Chains A and B, each alone.
Chain A
Amino acid sequence: MVDVPGWGGNLAGQHLDLRLTAPDGYTAVRSYSIASAGPGDRVELAVDKFPDGEVSPYLVDDIQKGDELELRGPLGGWFVWKPEQTESVQLIGGGSGVVPLIAMVRSHAASGSTAPFRLLYSVRTPQDVFFADELRALAESSPYFDLNFVYTRAVPANWPSKPGRISREILEASTYPASISPAVFVCGPTGFVESVANILVALGHEPTSVKTERFGGK
């Protein structure tokens, strides 16, 4: 959680750039998706730690309550969902790529939107799920939100299938079909987004209705 005086809120799906500066003037800038949405000066980020990275280990291990950060945002007006949108929405997230999609799910719930929402979340193991309790609670309480998981390394007990990567079969079974023309948002590592977007287009989705956000993994 970051308190940003004068932030003034952000749309669901936007990102920010965070700049770290070392005492000798060395700087590193990284982009992070925002997990929160709506008005207010409090911003929630979820950061995946890359052990060899130079920024994420600092954010995960070293930063303390009360530390100041320099950031720029909110950024990006393309990969966003607005409560006034009424069409069905299919969200597909890989790993920490779920973060901007969480913001959309939260915005959808907070606004009382009746647009059908569905999230397909590809994650390594059940322990790696971000915001697990919140997502499950929303899926149980809302008739307008469906939640599906794909586990790539380890599955929960009694899960009907083995772990595996997202496939054409899974996308056909667990996402809205192209026939209802949903808005589709795909976010994750570049390879994940590439393969999902290609399959979606092969399944008949209009390329322009599939919005993507890839992250390199630095």
Chain B
Amino acid sequence: MGIISRGFSGRSREHNPDLPPGQYLAEDFPVLSAGPTPDIDTADWSFRVQTESGKQYTWSWDEMQALGLEEIHTDIHCVTRWSKLGTSWRGISLDKIFAGIETENAYVMAHSYGGYTTNVPLEDLLDGKAWIATEYDGEPLDPEHGGPARLLVPHLYFWKSAKWVNGLRMMETDDPGFWEQNGYHLYGDPWLEQRYW
């Protein structure tokens, strides 16, 4: 550790049992971006799941919405140490998307407009644990925050909740996505502080 900066505390990091270790409470909703924000019209948006057989399942925006939106109230935890408690979203459960999909693979690579990828085990996307979120706080999801649609996997660090998501590719092995190739943890459980390899 370097020199302690007298009087510097940074963001407030009060103790709160809802906060995973090493996290502080964010008032705002910080925006992280590794590239330009894509501008995607819902008329052009589509979502694709590709399985090991090469088979592709696709949904247009309207087809996705027709699967039915759920209300989601959840805490989110970013690896850059901010957490936001009690956030409200609406989205499509991935259980509905996977209902008609045949796959033996246990891992998923999420793909996004703009080229971002992140890997998640399939079981972490099922049983009411993950959504394709299209609304935040009663409004259509802002492009800055991943709109029109982002993956929402709130029990893992928030980089797993890929912004601008447009597809899932089934994988036999747990191959690393973009940040996972660059030193971040393959799984990313905030309660175990799985930040880096």
B is a partner of A = yes
Residues of A at the B interface (CB closer than 8 Å) are: 19-28, 52, 54, 58, 62-64, 67-70
Q: Is there an interface contact between B1 and A69, defined as CB atoms closer than 8 Å?
A: no
Q: Is there an interface contact between A20 and B13, defined as CB atoms closer than 8 Å?
A: no
> Nearest 5 A-B pairs (CB), nearest first?
A20-B5, A70-B2, A20-B8, A26-B10, A70-B3
Known contacts A19-B2, A21-B1, A70-B2: does B7 contact A26 (CB below 8 Å)? no
Q: How far is the CA of A28 from the CA of B2 in the complex (A)?
A: 12
Q: Is there an interface contact between B3 and A62, defined as CB atoms closer than 8 Å?
A: no
Interchain nearest-CB distance for B184 vs A (Å): 19
Count of interface residues, chain B, beta-carbon cutoff 8 Å: 13
- Per-position 1/0 for B51-89, Cβ under 8 A of A: 000000000000000000000000000000000000000
Interface residues of B in 1-44 (CB under 8 A from A): 1-11, 13, 28
Q: How far is the CA of A27 from the CA of B10 in the complex (A)?
A: 8
Q: Is there an interface contact between B10 and A28, defined as CB atoms closer than 8 Å?
A: yes
Q: Is there an interface contact between A22 and B10, defined as CB atoms closer than 8 Å?
A: yes
Q: How far is the CA of A130 from the CA of B79 in the complex (A)?
A: 37
Q: How far is the CA of A68 from the CA of B5 in the complex (A)?
A: 7
Q: Is there an interface contact between B8 and A22, defined as CB atoms closer than 8 Å?
A: yes
Q: How far is the CA of A70 from the CA of B1 in the complex (A)?
A: 11
- Per-position 1/0 for B124-150, Cβ under 8 A of A: 000000000000000000000000000
Interchain nearest-CB distance for B37 vs A (Å): 13
Residue from the set B5, B9, B10, B11 with the largest chain A CB neighbour count within 10 Å: B5
Known contacts A24-B13, A26-B13: does B2 contact A58 (CB below 8 Å)? no
Interchain nearest-CB distance for A17 vs B (Å): 12
